[in-house]
Structure 1
Protein backbone atom coordinates (compact mmCIF):
# COMPACT_ATOMS: atom_id res chain seq x y z
CA UNK A 1 0.00 0.00 0.00
CA UNK A 2 1.08 3.54 -0.78
CA UNK A 3 -0.45 6.47 1.10
CA UNK A 4 -0.24 9.52 -1.16
CA UNK A 5 -0.12 12.79 0.77
CA UNK A 6 -0.51 16.39 -0.32
CA UNK A 7 2.53 18.59 0.33
CA UNK A 8 2.43 21.67 2.52
CA UNK A 9 3.25 25.28 1.76
CA UNK A 10 5.31 25.40 4.95
CA UNK A 11 8.61 23.54 5.04
CA UNK A 12 11.42 23.17 7.53
CA UNK A 13 14.61 25.09 6.88
CA UNK A 14 18.03 23.54 6.66
CA UNK A 15 18.91 19.88 6.59
CA UNK A 16 21.93 17.66 7.11
CA UNK A 17 22.07 16.16 3.63
CA UNK A 18 24.17 17.13 0.64
CA UNK A 19 22.78 19.36 -2.09
CA UNK A 20 19.93 18.18 -4.29
CA UNK A 21 20.77 15.27 -6.58
CA UNK A 22 17.88 14.63 -8.94
CA UNK A 23 19.47 11.35 -10.01
CA UNK A 24 19.01 9.88 -6.54
CA UNK A 25 15.28 10.61 -6.23
CA UNK A 26 12.76 7.83 -6.69
CA UNK A 27 10.70 7.65 -9.91
CA UNK A 28 13.63 8.58 -12.19
CA UNK A 29 11.29 8.91 -15.19
CA UNK A 30 10.28 12.26 -13.69
CA UNK A 31 13.87 13.51 -13.82
CA UNK A 32 13.70 15.59 -17.02
CA UNK A 33 10.72 17.67 -15.88
CA UNK A 34 12.15 17.99 -12.38
CA UNK A 35 15.34 19.41 -13.89
CA UNK A 36 13.39 21.84 -16.07
CA UNK A 37 11.38 23.15 -13.14
CA UNK A 38 14.38 23.52 -10.86
CA UNK A 39 16.17 25.50 -13.55
CA UNK A 40 13.15 27.70 -14.17
CA UNK A 41 12.68 28.46 -10.46
CA UNK A 42 16.35 29.32 -9.97
CA UNK A 43 16.27 31.65 -12.97
CA UNK A 44 12.95 33.20 -11.92
CA UNK A 45 14.31 33.94 -8.43
CA UNK A 46 16.56 36.62 -9.96
CA UNK A 47 13.41 38.68 -10.66
CA UNK A 48 11.63 39.14 -7.34
CA UNK A 49 8.58 40.88 -8.76
CA UNK A 50 8.02 38.13 -11.31
CA UNK A 51 8.62 35.50 -8.65
CA UNK A 52 6.03 37.05 -6.35
CA UNK A 53 3.44 37.01 -9.11
CA UNK A 54 4.18 33.46 -10.18
CA UNK A 55 4.34 32.02 -6.67
CA UNK A 56 1.54 34.09 -5.16
CA UNK A 57 3.67 35.54 -2.37
CA UNK A 58 4.12 39.04 -0.98
CA UNK A 59 7.28 41.03 -0.40
CA UNK A 60 7.19 39.87 3.23
CA UNK A 61 7.69 36.33 1.92
CA UNK A 62 10.82 37.01 -0.13
CA UNK A 63 12.59 34.34 1.92
CA UNK A 64 10.57 31.85 -0.13
CA UNK A 65 12.17 33.26 -3.29
CA UNK A 66 15.59 32.96 -1.66
CA UNK A 67 14.87 29.28 -1.08
CA UNK A 68 14.24 28.81 -4.78
CA UNK A 69 17.41 30.68 -5.70
CA UNK A 70 19.38 28.16 -3.61
CA UNK A 71 17.67 24.99 -4.87
CA UNK A 72 20.86 23.54 -6.35
CA UNK A 73 23.09 24.23 -3.34
CA UNK A 74 20.87 24.16 -0.25
CA UNK A 75 21.09 21.23 2.21
CA UNK A 76 18.50 18.49 1.95
CA UNK A 77 16.51 16.31 4.32
CA UNK A 78 14.02 13.45 3.85
CA UNK A 79 10.82 14.71 2.24
CA UNK A 80 8.61 13.40 5.03
CA UNK A 81 10.61 15.53 7.49
CA UNK A 82 10.72 18.58 5.22
CA UNK A 83 6.97 19.20 5.07
CA UNK A 84 5.24 20.75 8.09
CA UNK A 85 1.78 21.93 9.05
CA UNK A 86 -1.48 20.48 10.35
CA UNK A 87 -1.48 17.22 8.38
CA UNK A 88 2.15 16.47 9.17
CA UNK A 89 1.66 17.36 12.84
CA UNK A 90 -1.16 14.79 13.01
CA UNK A 91 0.93 12.22 11.18
CA UNK A 92 3.75 12.91 13.69
CA UNK A 93 6.21 10.58 12.01
CA UNK A 94 8.97 11.68 14.35
CA UNK A 95 7.27 9.90 17.23
CA UNK A 96 7.31 6.50 15.49
CA UNK A 97 9.91 3.93 16.39
CA UNK A 98 11.45 0.74 14.99
CA UNK A 99 9.11 -1.37 12.82
CA UNK A 100 6.28 1.18 12.81
CA UNK A 101 8.63 3.91 11.59
CA UNK A 102 10.06 1.65 8.88
CA UNK A 103 6.60 0.65 7.66
CA UNK A 104 5.45 4.26 7.60
CA UNK A 105 8.44 5.51 5.65
CA UNK A 106 8.10 2.70 3.11
CA UNK A 107 4.41 3.46 2.49
CA UNK A 108 4.29 7.25 2.48
CA UNK A 109 4.69 9.35 -0.66
CA UNK A 110 4.11 13.05 -1.21
CA UNK A 111 2.75 14.84 -4.26
CA UNK A 112 4.92 17.81 -5.24
CA UNK A 113 4.52 20.61 -7.75
CA UNK A 114 8.31 20.70 -8.14
CA UNK A 115 9.26 17.01 -8.00
CA UNK A 116 5.99 15.37 -9.07
CA UNK A 117 6.21 12.57 -6.54
CA UNK A 118 8.67 11.92 -3.73
CA UNK A 119 8.92 9.00 -1.36
CA UNK A 120 9.34 9.60 2.36
CA UNK A 121 13.13 9.29 2.38
CA UNK A 122 13.87 11.14 -0.85
CA UNK A 123 16.14 14.01 0.16
CA UNK A 124 14.94 17.42 -1.01
CA UNK A 125 15.68 21.07 -0.21
CA UNK A 126 13.13 23.62 0.98
CA UNK A 127 11.32 25.25 -1.95
CA UNK A 128 8.26 27.26 -2.91
CA UNK A 129 6.04 26.08 -5.75
CA UNK A 130 2.36 25.21 -5.54
CA UNK A 131 0.19 23.20 -7.90
CA UNK A 132 -1.62 26.42 -8.81
CA UNK A 133 1.55 28.45 -9.45
CA UNK A 134 1.99 29.63 -13.02
CA UNK A 135 5.54 30.09 -14.26
CA UNK A 136 5.90 32.91 -16.80
CA UNK A 137 5.42 31.87 -20.40
CA UNK A 138 4.84 28.22 -19.50
CA UNK A 139 1.75 25.96 -19.52
CA UNK A 140 0.06 25.14 -16.23
CA UNK A 141 1.83 22.70 -13.95
CA UNK A 142 -1.03 20.25 -14.39
CA UNK A 143 -0.55 20.32 -18.16
CA UNK A 144 3.17 19.75 -17.74
CA UNK A 145 3.03 17.06 -15.07
CA UNK A 146 0.16 14.94 -16.34
CA UNK A 147 1.95 13.26 -19.28
CA UNK A 148 4.98 12.38 -17.14
CA UNK A 149 3.36 11.65 -13.79
CA UNK A 150 0.29 9.66 -14.76
CA UNK A 151 2.28 6.70 -16.19
CA UNK A 152 4.41 6.61 -13.03
CA UNK A 153 1.38 6.57 -10.75
CA UNK A 154 -0.38 4.02 -12.95
CA UNK A 155 2.61 1.68 -12.69
CA UNK A 156 2.63 2.03 -8.89
CA UNK A 157 -1.11 1.35 -8.77
CA UNK A 158 -0.65 -1.86 -10.75
CA UNK A 159 1.48 -3.29 -7.95
CA UNK A 160 0.09 -1.69 -4.81
CA UNK A 161 -3.12 -0.19 -3.47
CA UNK A 162 -2.90 3.61 -3.48
CA UNK A 163 -4.82 5.61 -0.88
CA UNK A 164 -5.02 9.11 -2.33
CA UNK A 165 -5.19 11.87 0.29
CA UNK A 166 -4.20 14.68 -2.07
CA UNK A 167 -6.10 17.96 -2.20
CA UNK A 168 -7.90 18.92 -5.41
CA UNK A 169 -5.14 21.00 -7.00
CA UNK A 170 -2.58 18.24 -6.51
CA UNK A 171 -4.96 15.51 -7.61
CA UNK A 172 -5.31 17.51 -10.84
CA UNK A 173 -1.59 17.01 -11.58
CA UNK A 174 -2.21 13.34 -12.37
CA UNK A 175 -4.89 10.69 -11.93
CA UNK A 176 -4.28 7.41 -10.12
CA UNK A 177 -6.33 4.54 -11.60
CA UNK A 178 -8.10 2.46 -8.97
CA UNK A 179 -7.00 4.60 -6.05
CA UNK A 180 -8.99 4.80 -2.84
CA UNK A 181 -9.97 8.45 -2.44
CA UNK A 182 -10.85 10.14 0.83
CA UNK A 183 -12.83 13.21 1.85
CA UNK A 184 -13.50 14.61 5.32
CA UNK A 185 -16.88 16.19 6.10
CA UNK A 186 -18.42 17.68 9.23
CA UNK A 187 -21.74 16.21 10.31
CA UNK A 188 -24.06 18.61 12.15
CA UNK A 189 -26.62 17.63 14.77
CA UNK A 190 -29.41 18.26 12.27
CA UNK A 191 -27.84 15.83 9.80
CA UNK A 192 -26.34 18.45 7.49
CA UNK A 193 -22.87 17.78 6.15
CA UNK A 194 -20.38 20.43 5.25
CA UNK A 195 -16.86 20.34 3.91
CA UNK A 196 -14.20 20.55 6.59
CA UNK A 197 -11.35 22.94 5.83
CA UNK A 198 -8.70 23.26 8.53
CA UNK A 199 -9.56 20.02 10.30
CA UNK A 200 -9.61 18.15 6.99
CA UNK A 201 -5.82 18.14 7.11
CA UNK A 202 -5.67 16.93 10.69
CA UNK A 203 -7.99 14.00 10.04
CA UNK A 204 -6.13 13.03 6.88
CA UNK A 205 -2.89 13.12 8.84
CA UNK A 206 -4.42 10.89 11.48
CA UNK A 207 -5.64 8.46 8.82
CA UNK A 208 -2.22 8.46 7.15
CA UNK A 209 -0.63 7.49 10.47
CA UNK A 210 -3.11 4.65 10.99
CA UNK A 211 -2.64 3.26 7.49
CA UNK A 212 1.11 3.68 7.18
CA UNK A 213 1.88 2.00 10.52
CA UNK A 214 -0.60 -0.87 10.27
CA UNK A 215 0.81 -4.39 10.35
CA UNK A 216 -1.89 -5.45 7.86
CA UNK A 217 -1.75 -4.78 4.13
CA UNK A 218 -5.21 -3.69 2.95
CA UNK A 219 -6.12 -4.79 -0.56
CA UNK A 220 -9.15 -2.60 -1.21
CA UNK A 221 -11.29 0.29 0.02
CA UNK A 222 -13.28 -1.95 2.35
CA UNK A 223 -10.11 -3.01 4.16
CA UNK A 224 -8.91 0.60 4.38
CA UNK A 225 -12.25 1.61 5.90
CA UNK A 226 -12.02 -1.25 8.39
CA UNK A 227 -8.58 -0.10 9.56
CA UNK A 228 -9.85 3.46 10.01
CA UNK A 229 -12.87 2.27 12.00
CA UNK A 230 -10.72 0.15 14.29
CA UNK A 231 -8.78 3.32 15.03
CA UNK A 232 -12.01 5.03 16.13
CA UNK A 233 -12.79 6.97 12.97
CA UNK A 234 -16.30 7.18 11.54
CA UNK A 235 -16.09 6.18 7.89
CA UNK A 236 -18.61 5.56 5.15
CA UNK A 237 -17.64 3.83 1.92
CA UNK A 238 -19.06 4.09 -1.55
CA UNK A 239 -17.12 1.95 -3.99
CA UNK A 240 -13.52 3.23 -3.85
CA UNK A 241 -14.40 6.50 -2.12
CA UNK A 242 -14.30 6.94 1.65
CA UNK A 243 -15.99 9.71 3.63
CA UNK A 244 -14.60 10.41 7.08
CA UNK A 245 -17.29 11.94 9.30
CA UNK A 246 -16.39 14.32 12.12
CA UNK A 247 -18.70 16.11 14.53
CA UNK A 248 -19.35 19.73 13.60
Structure 2
Protein backbone atom coordinates (compact mmCIF):
# COMPACT_ATOMS: atom_id res chain seq x y z
CA UNK A 1 0.00 0.00 0.00
CA UNK A 2 1.19 3.47 -0.93
CA UNK A 3 -0.47 6.63 0.38
CA UNK A 4 -0.05 9.74 -1.78
CA UNK A 5 -0.28 13.07 0.04
CA UNK A 6 -0.01 16.69 -1.07
CA UNK A 7 2.41 18.92 0.84
CA UNK A 8 1.03 21.58 3.13
CA UNK A 9 1.06 25.14 1.83
CA UNK A 10 2.55 26.40 5.07
CA UNK A 11 5.72 24.82 6.46
CA UNK A 12 7.37 24.75 9.88
CA UNK A 13 11.07 25.60 9.43
CA UNK A 14 13.64 23.43 11.18
CA UNK A 15 15.40 25.33 13.99
CA UNK A 16 18.48 23.17 13.55
CA UNK A 17 19.49 20.16 11.51
CA UNK A 18 21.64 19.01 8.63
CA UNK A 19 21.98 21.08 5.48
CA UNK A 20 20.18 19.95 2.34
CA UNK A 21 21.68 16.88 0.69
CA UNK A 22 19.87 15.54 -2.40
CA UNK A 23 21.53 12.18 -1.78
CA UNK A 24 19.34 11.76 1.32
CA UNK A 25 16.08 11.97 -0.66
CA UNK A 26 14.16 9.06 -2.12
CA UNK A 27 13.79 8.79 -5.90
CA UNK A 28 17.37 9.70 -6.86
CA UNK A 29 16.56 9.82 -10.61
CA UNK A 30 14.67 13.07 -9.87
CA UNK A 31 17.74 14.89 -8.56
CA UNK A 32 18.66 16.63 -11.83
CA UNK A 33 15.10 17.92 -12.19
CA UNK A 34 15.08 19.00 -8.54
CA UNK A 35 18.27 20.98 -9.12
CA UNK A 36 16.63 22.83 -12.01
CA UNK A 37 13.57 23.72 -9.96
CA UNK A 38 15.66 24.79 -6.95
CA UNK A 39 17.66 27.19 -9.14
CA UNK A 40 14.57 28.54 -10.90
CA UNK A 41 12.78 29.06 -7.58
CA UNK A 42 15.75 30.91 -6.06
CA UNK A 43 15.95 33.20 -9.09
CA UNK A 44 12.20 33.84 -9.20
CA UNK A 45 12.15 34.59 -5.47
CA UNK A 46 14.64 37.46 -5.87
CA UNK A 47 12.70 39.23 -8.62
CA UNK A 48 10.49 42.30 -8.19
CA UNK A 49 7.47 40.20 -9.18
CA UNK A 50 8.36 37.29 -6.91
CA UNK A 51 5.09 37.39 -4.97
CA UNK A 52 3.02 37.49 -8.15
CA UNK A 53 4.96 34.59 -9.71
CA UNK A 54 4.61 32.48 -6.56
CA UNK A 55 0.99 33.50 -5.98
CA UNK A 56 1.51 34.69 -2.42
CA UNK A 57 0.78 37.91 -0.56
CA UNK A 58 3.19 40.39 1.08
CA UNK A 59 2.70 38.76 4.49
CA UNK A 60 4.76 35.81 3.24
CA UNK A 61 7.84 37.89 2.37
CA UNK A 62 10.01 35.96 4.84
CA UNK A 63 9.03 32.64 3.24
CA UNK A 64 9.78 33.98 -0.23
CA UNK A 65 13.19 35.22 0.98
CA UNK A 66 13.89 31.78 2.46
CA UNK A 67 13.49 30.28 -1.02
CA UNK A 68 16.78 31.94 -1.99
CA UNK A 69 18.87 30.12 0.67
CA UNK A 70 17.32 26.66 0.76
CA UNK A 71 20.58 24.82 0.26
CA UNK A 72 22.03 26.61 3.30
CA UNK A 73 18.94 26.12 5.48
CA UNK A 74 18.58 23.44 8.17
CA UNK A 75 16.50 20.40 7.24
CA UNK A 76 14.09 18.13 9.09
CA UNK A 77 12.03 15.11 8.03
CA UNK A 78 9.24 15.99 5.59
CA UNK A 79 6.58 14.85 8.07
CA UNK A 80 7.84 17.53 10.48
CA UNK A 81 8.26 20.33 7.93
CA UNK A 82 4.74 19.86 6.54
CA UNK A 83 2.07 21.09 8.94
CA UNK A 84 -1.59 22.00 8.71
CA UNK A 85 -4.98 20.36 8.80
CA UNK A 86 -4.14 17.10 7.00
CA UNK A 87 -0.83 16.55 8.76
CA UNK A 88 -2.27 17.40 12.17
CA UNK A 89 -5.00 14.81 11.62
CA UNK A 90 -2.44 12.19 10.56
CA UNK A 91 -0.49 12.88 13.75
CA UNK A 92 2.86 11.30 12.91
CA UNK A 93 4.44 12.23 16.25
CA UNK A 94 1.75 10.29 18.13
CA UNK A 95 2.27 7.06 16.17
CA UNK A 96 4.17 4.16 17.69
CA UNK A 97 7.69 3.51 16.39
CA UNK A 98 6.40 0.60 14.30
CA UNK A 99 3.62 2.76 12.88
CA UNK A 100 6.10 5.53 12.08
CA UNK A 101 8.28 3.05 10.19
CA UNK A 102 5.21 1.95 8.29
CA UNK A 103 4.39 5.57 7.46
CA UNK A 104 7.95 6.18 6.30
CA UNK A 105 7.62 3.23 3.91
CA UNK A 106 4.06 3.85 2.74
CA UNK A 107 3.67 7.63 2.39
CA UNK A 108 4.86 9.53 -0.69
CA UNK A 109 4.45 13.31 -0.79
CA UNK A 110 4.06 14.87 -4.25
CA UNK A 111 5.78 18.27 -4.25
CA UNK A 112 6.13 21.23 -6.57
CA UNK A 113 9.79 21.59 -5.55
CA UNK A 114 10.97 18.02 -5.02
CA UNK A 115 8.66 16.09 -7.35
CA UNK A 116 8.16 13.21 -4.92
CA UNK A 117 9.47 12.57 -1.41
CA UNK A 118 9.60 9.82 1.14
CA UNK A 119 7.89 10.79 4.40
CA UNK A 120 11.14 10.94 6.39
CA UNK A 121 13.26 12.66 3.72
CA UNK A 122 15.16 15.67 5.20
CA UNK A 123 14.12 18.93 3.54
CA UNK A 124 14.17 22.66 4.35
CA UNK A 125 11.00 24.71 4.65
CA UNK A 126 10.08 26.42 1.36
CA UNK A 127 7.19 28.12 -0.40
CA UNK A 128 6.15 26.76 -3.80
CA UNK A 129 2.84 25.37 -5.03
CA UNK A 130 2.48 22.85 -7.84
CA UNK A 131 0.18 25.39 -9.52
CA UNK A 132 3.02 27.90 -10.00
CA UNK A 133 4.53 28.63 -13.42
CA UNK A 134 8.24 29.29 -12.95
CA UNK A 135 10.30 31.13 -15.55
CA UNK A 136 12.58 28.70 -17.41
CA UNK A 137 10.56 25.74 -16.06
CA UNK A 138 6.94 26.44 -16.92
CA UNK A 139 3.96 25.11 -15.01
CA UNK A 140 5.27 22.74 -12.40
CA UNK A 141 2.54 20.12 -12.77
CA UNK A 142 3.44 19.72 -16.44
CA UNK A 143 7.18 19.76 -15.71
CA UNK A 144 6.93 17.03 -13.10
CA UNK A 145 4.50 14.92 -15.08
CA UNK A 146 7.24 13.95 -17.53
CA UNK A 147 9.78 13.27 -14.76
CA UNK A 148 7.55 11.41 -12.31
CA UNK A 149 5.87 8.99 -14.72
CA UNK A 150 8.53 6.29 -14.90
CA UNK A 151 9.93 6.73 -11.40
CA UNK A 152 6.62 6.50 -9.58
CA UNK A 153 5.15 3.81 -11.86
CA UNK A 154 8.09 1.59 -10.90
CA UNK A 155 7.77 2.46 -7.20
CA UNK A 156 4.02 1.80 -7.19
CA UNK A 157 4.20 -1.48 -9.10
CA UNK A 158 2.45 -4.22 -7.16
CA UNK A 159 0.97 -1.81 -4.60
CA UNK A 160 -2.50 -0.40 -4.04
CA UNK A 161 -2.22 3.40 -4.34
CA UNK A 162 -4.43 5.40 -1.97
CA UNK A 163 -4.51 8.88 -3.48
CA UNK A 164 -5.19 11.60 -0.91
CA UNK A 165 -3.88 14.46 -3.06
CA UNK A 166 -5.75 17.59 -4.05
CA UNK A 167 -6.40 18.08 -7.76
CA UNK A 168 -3.46 20.50 -8.11
CA UNK A 169 -1.00 17.80 -7.09
CA UNK A 170 -2.87 14.93 -8.72
CA UNK A 171 -2.14 16.61 -12.07
CA UNK A 172 1.57 15.80 -11.72
CA UNK A 173 1.24 12.00 -11.81
CA UNK A 174 -1.56 9.56 -12.55
CA UNK A 175 -1.19 6.06 -11.10
CA UNK A 176 -2.42 2.97 -12.92
CA UNK A 177 -6.24 3.29 -12.65
CA UNK A 178 -6.91 -0.38 -11.90
CA UNK A 179 -4.74 -0.35 -8.76
CA UNK A 180 -5.46 3.12 -7.40
CA UNK A 181 -8.27 4.84 -5.53
CA UNK A 182 -8.70 8.61 -5.24
CA UNK A 183 -10.16 9.71 -1.92
CA UNK A 184 -13.03 12.21 -2.15
CA UNK A 185 -14.80 13.68 0.85
CA UNK A 186 -18.38 14.88 0.92
CA UNK A 187 -20.57 16.27 3.67
CA UNK A 188 -24.33 15.97 3.78
CA UNK A 189 -25.96 19.40 3.94
CA UNK A 190 -29.72 19.74 3.69
CA UNK A 191 -29.89 16.26 2.29
CA UNK A 192 -27.36 16.91 -0.47
CA UNK A 193 -23.71 16.04 -0.88
CA UNK A 194 -21.38 19.04 -0.70
CA UNK A 195 -17.62 19.21 -1.23
CA UNK A 196 -15.92 20.93 1.73
CA UNK A 197 -12.18 21.52 1.44
CA UNK A 198 -11.36 21.92 5.14
CA UNK A 199 -13.15 18.73 6.13
CA UNK A 200 -11.64 16.97 3.10
CA UNK A 201 -8.09 17.74 4.28
CA UNK A 202 -8.86 16.70 7.84
CA UNK A 203 -10.62 13.51 6.80
CA UNK A 204 -7.84 12.51 4.39
CA UNK A 205 -5.38 12.91 7.24
CA UNK A 206 -7.57 10.83 9.53
CA UNK A 207 -7.99 8.22 6.81
CA UNK A 208 -4.23 7.96 6.30
CA UNK A 209 -3.77 7.56 10.05
CA UNK A 210 -6.45 4.87 10.17
CA UNK A 211 -4.73 2.89 7.42
CA UNK A 212 -1.37 3.19 9.18
CA UNK A 213 -2.66 2.18 12.61
CA UNK A 214 -5.43 -0.37 12.07
CA UNK A 215 -4.59 -3.99 12.93
CA UNK A 216 -4.42 -6.69 10.29
CA UNK A 217 -3.19 -6.79 6.75
CA UNK A 218 -3.01 -3.67 4.63
CA UNK A 219 -5.65 -3.42 1.91
CA UNK A 220 -4.28 -4.74 -1.38
CA UNK A 221 -7.26 -3.97 -3.63
CA UNK A 222 -9.73 -1.07 -3.90
CA UNK A 223 -12.44 -3.35 -2.53
CA UNK A 224 -10.33 -4.16 0.53
CA UNK A 225 -9.64 -0.44 0.93
CA UNK A 226 -13.38 0.24 0.98
CA UNK A 227 -13.83 -2.38 3.71
CA UNK A 228 -11.01 -0.84 5.76
CA UNK A 229 -12.38 2.70 5.43
CA UNK A 230 -15.92 1.49 6.21
CA UNK A 231 -14.64 0.50 9.65
CA UNK A 232 -14.81 4.20 10.51
CA UNK A 233 -16.84 6.09 7.87
CA UNK A 234 -19.74 5.79 5.50
CA UNK A 235 -18.07 5.20 2.14
CA UNK A 236 -18.66 3.97 -1.38
CA UNK A 237 -16.44 2.82 -4.22
CA UNK A 238 -16.96 3.98 -7.80
CA UNK A 239 -15.34 1.65 -10.38
CA UNK A 240 -12.28 2.73 -12.33
CA UNK A 241 -12.31 3.53 -16.01
CA UNK A 242 -9.53 3.25 -18.58
CA UNK A 243 -8.18 6.67 -17.55
CA UNK A 244 -9.65 7.33 -14.12
CA UNK A 245 -8.85 5.39 -10.94
CA UNK A 246 -11.41 4.04 -8.51
CA UNK A 247 -13.14 6.80 -6.57
CA UNK A 248 -13.42 6.21 -2.85
CA UNK A 249 -16.14 8.58 -1.64
CA UNK A 250 -16.19 9.24 2.08
CA UNK A 251 -19.50 10.72 3.21
CA UNK A 252 -19.57 12.75 6.41
CA UNK A 253 -22.81 13.47 8.23
CA UNK A 254 -23.84 17.10 8.45
CA UNK A 255 -26.71 19.51 8.67
CA UNK A 256 -29.94 17.93 7.53
CA UNK A 257 -28.57 14.41 7.78
Instruction: Report the TM-score range of the alignment, normalised by the length of the smaller protein.
Output: over 0.9
Alignment partner, residue 40 of structure 1: 40
- 1:193 CA displacement: 0.8
2:167 matched to which residue of 1? 168
| Aligned twin of 1:111 | 110
Would the alpha carbon gap of residues 116 and 15 (structure 1) be closer, same or farther in structure 2, given more than 3 Å must change?
farther
Partner of 1:220: 221
Q: Could you tell me how far apart the structure 1 residues matched to 2:223 and 2:196 are?
A: 23
Residue aligned with 2:230, SS: helix
Q: How many residues align?
A: 245
Aligned-partner Cα distance in 1 for 2:98–2:56: 40
Residues 102 and 137 of structure 1, relative CA distance in 2, 3 Å threshold: closer
Query: Within 5 A, what are the aligned runs for 1:32-181?
Result: 32-47=32-47, 49-178=48-177, 179-181=180-182
Q: 8 Å contact 1:108–1:212 — kept in the other structure? A: no
What is the Cα deviation at residue 58 of structure 1?
1.9
1:19-48: CA deviation from partner (whole Å, max 9, x where unpaired): 11112210111111100011111222222x
Structure 1 residue 177 displacement after superposition: 1.1
SS of residue matched to 2:70: coil
Could you tell me whether the CA contact under 8 Å between 2:40 and 2:137 is conserved in 1? no
Residue ranges of structure 1 left out of the alignment (5+ in a row): none
Q: Which runs of 4+ in 1 moved over 3 A?
A: none
TM-score (norm 2): 0.91
Measured after TM superposition, the shift of residue 69 of structure 1 is 1.1
Instruction: Find the aligned partners of 2:103 and 2:153 in 1 and give their Cα distance.
Output: 21
- 2:253 matches 1:244: no
Q: Distance in 2 between matches of 1:128 and 1:72?
A: 14
